[in-house]
Structure 1
């Protein structure tokens, strides 16, 4: 009698565990399959792997960024790639700043502007030390209001330059976002997906547990998951800089597109 009473519970538990393990395995394989190569740390501050800019435009941006770094010690880098090749934008951005060691170790003052051309995606990755002056919402506003409008016109140099200027202003407390654009950016990462799946599996488990005793019980799904995640995932990777020895990043920043 005891065996029969426990069998449904044991079955549900085993099924839930197997589903979680299978989903974790799928996510792991996806991440492994989409491990896009990170370019070596550049000598300049603008790396254009998509051929989007002319040599003169790259030189102008490099000069502007070098002068800003000399005055403030804040390090801003620009990386332009052709495609993410299926990889998550936020995860790739974190891997870049980790390898490049962007920012100074004692100030965590690095910023990466990442552009994936074919995916039409933009990411501003912000070091811990600058999150106070360049929070997620403000970074999102810079993407939406300063960069994306130019990109939609096909004027990539103008958009990148406008974004860089806005980032510089933000680090000095001089950039103010339009009121209508002050909203938290949305980002969806594999970690967010796992959280969602755990919640979903819990609901399914409860559903099957109740059906044995109450077949007429309704199934209620509470929506709203996945909406409000602003790039806070990614862990505390130790990044570094072109000359500062390495600042830290924890996923602060924002993502957008055009």
Structure 2
């Protein structure tokens, strides 16, 4: 009996350590993805531009098997990562999210930091440095002129089209709706309130995840040592059934909530290009 409890204690300790590592990863400082296509954390795009860019990236994945994502931030310095450059931030964000298929590492990240006035196209290791010059040309010719006018939607859309054409050899049709009155965004859409809201959302996510870790850890230890969970039941089988049902439900809920933002495990070694305006 003592050996059984000792084994249970060690098993519970191992699980707790694993959950602790998971929590540490969640606290890495980088934003958590909400989708595998477009993550507009700065809320710069209007609905039409967001839908058009999302469709481009969805087609890229479905028709060519390439995972691409566009990420929009106010500033890389809104996140406690220790990265001083957009290049370092992009590479680490790429690898933290795991953009692209882990079998070939052919993913692409387009990162815009509007308040920093910088943009980065980050390519997976599957491309190495093969397209660095082409990515620089796309930034210089298709993105920066629009960004200088405050038209982030046009710059990101045309830049995404250029990236897709370079990687696949096929130009996607230009289906972005014509914006009345010029650009889709004002020249200075960045606000401190948006940055504060993002930091607040990140802290709330960490708190929720921490509570989840505590609850799951207690349930595991309760099952091992027979601690009470909810209404006490004298039948061990009923207790086990209750635990199994809860665990299965938690896994199902977690899978459902993350299915829209799960990348393929790709990596980047820093290939791509950057620009500023």
What range describes the TM-score normalised by the shorter chain of this pair?
0.5 to 0.7
Residue in 1 that maps onto 2:165: 169
Select the structure that is richer in helix. Answer: 2
1:149, 1:36 → 2: CA distance?
Answer: 34
Matched residues in 2 for 1:83 and 1:172: separation?
A: 31
Q: Work out which of the residue numbers 140, 143, 148 in structure 1 matches 2:144.
A: 148
The root-mean-square deviation of aligned C-alpha atoms, in Å, is 2.3
- Alignment CA distance shift 1:243-1:84 (3 Å): closer
Task: Give the secondary-structure state (helix, strand or coil) at the position aligned to 2:42.
Answer: coil
Q: CA deviation at 1:37?
A: 2.6
Report Cα offsets for 1:33-77 as digits up to 9, x if no partner: xx9931112224111111210133212211221112100011110
Deviations 1:109-167 (A, max 9, x none): 100000111110010000122346x5211111111011101111111111100000000
Mapped to 1, the partners of 2:100 and 2:36 lie a distance apart of 14
Cα separation, 1, equivalents of 2:50 and 2:36: 9
2:53 is matched with 61
In structure 2, what is the Cα distance between the partners aligned to 1:126 and 1:109?
7
- Partner residue of 1:104? 101
Flag structure 2 segments of 5+ consecutive residues without an equivalent.
Answer: 1-26, 78-82, 172-259
3-state SS in 2 of match to 1:248: coil
Structure 1 residues 44 and 108 mapped into 2: Cα distance closer, same or farther (>3 Å)? closer
- SS of the equivalent of 1:128 reads coil
Q: Which has the higher contact order (CA 8 A, sep 6+)?
A: 2
Pairwise CA distance, 1:251: 0.5
Where do 1:168-187 residues align within 5 Å?
168-173=164-169
Counterparts of 1:255 and 1:116, CA distance in 2: 11
TM-score by length of 2: 0.53
Mapped partners of 1:169, 1:119: distance in 2: 27
Q: 1:131 to 1:146 in 2, by over 3 A?
A: farther
Alignment-derived partner of residue 127 in structure 1: 124
CA distance in 1, matches of 2:263, 2:92: 18
Which position in structure 2 is the counterpart of 1:28? none
Alignment of 1:138 with 2:134, yes or no, is yes
Structure 1 unaligned runs (5+)? Answer: 1-34, 176-240
Displacement of 1:243 after TM fit?
Answer: 5.7
Aligned pairs, number: 158
Where does residue 159 of structure 1 map in the other structure? 155
Cα distance between partner residues in 2 of 1:56 and 1:162: 14
1:194 equivalent in structure 2: none
User: What are the within-5 Å matches in structure 2 for residues 1-258 of structure 1?
Assistant: 37-85=29-77, 87-131=84-128, 135-173=131-169, 245-258=264-277
Counterpart CA distance in 2 for 1:242 and 1:101 is 11
What SS does the corresponding residue of 2:95 show, helix, strand or coil?
A: helix
Quick check: 2:64–2:168 contact (8 Å CA) kept in 1?
no
TM-aligned CA deviation for residue 242 of structure 1: 5.8
Q: Are 2:108 and 2:124, in contact at CA under 8 Å, matched by a contact in 1?
A: yes
Alpha-carbon distance change, 242 to 72 in structure 1, aligned in 2, over 3 angstroms: farther
